[in-house]
Amino acid sequence: MPIAFSRPPRRLRAAMLATCAVALAAAGCAGHGSSPAGSSSGGLSGSRFTLMLQSTANANKVVEVHAVNELKKQGVDASVKWNDSSPNIAITQLKTGDIDAYSEAVTGGVSAVEAGVQLKDFALAQPRQDYVFLSKDIAGLADLRGKKIGVQDTTGVNYAQALLLVQKAGLTPKDVSIIAVGGQSSRLPALVAGRVDVTMLSHAAQLQLEPKGFKTVMDLTKEAPNLYDDNVFATPGWLAKNEPLAVAFNKALLDSYVWFNDPANTDAVVNEALQIQPAADRAQTAQLFTMLRQANAYPVGTILDPGLLDQQQKLYLQAGALKATAPVTQWADASYARKAKGSGQK
Describe the crossing of helices 243-261 and 335-342 by its angle, rounded to 10 degrees: 60
pLDDT digit string, tens, across residues 62-75: 999 999 999 999 99
- Residue 9 falls inside a structural domain: no
CB-count burial class (<10 Å; 0-12, 13-18, 19+) for 194: exposed
Clarify whether residues 219 and 236 are in a common domain: no
Q: Taking 80 as the threshold, does the pLDDT of residue 54 lie above it? A: yes
What are the respective helix, strand and coil percentages of the chain, to the nearest 5? Answer: 50, 15, 40
Clarify whether residues 264 and 121 are in a common domain: yes
**Alpha carbon separation from 8 to 60, 183, 233 (Å, rounded):** 14, 8, 17
Q: Taking 80 as the threshold, does the pLDDT of residue 107 lie above it? A: yes
C-alpha–C-alpha distance, residues 107 and 104, integer Å: 8
Clarify whether residues 275 and 166 are in a common domain: no
Clarify whether residues 198 and 176 are in a common domain: yes
Find the mean pLDDT for residues 69-95.
Answer: 93
Within the chain, residue ranges assigned H as helices are 14-26, 62-73, 87-96, 106-114, 157-168, 184-192, 203-209, 220-223, 236-241, 243-261, 266-276, 282-294, 306-319, 328-331, 335-342
**Among 190, 205, 223, which residue terminates a domain?**
223
CATH code (residue 313): 3.40.190.10
pLDDT digit string, tens, across residues 239-286: 999 999 999 999 999 999 999 999 999 999 999 999 999 999 999 999
pLDDT grade, residue 305 (50/70/90)?
very high
pLDDT grade, residue 154 (50/70/90)?
confident
Please report the pLDDT score of residue 345 as a whole number. 55
The percent of residues above 70 in pLDDT, for the chain, comes to 87
- Residue 3 falls inside a structural domain: no
Specify the DSSP class assigned to residue 332.
B
Clarify whether residues 212 and 261 are in a common domain: no
Structural domain span for residue 176: 132-223
Note the pTM of the prediction, 2 decimals: 0.84
Smallest CA-to-CA distance from 276 within 99, 103, 52, 63 is with 63
pLDDT grade, residue 55 (50/70/90)?
confident
- Residue 304 falls inside a structural domain: yes
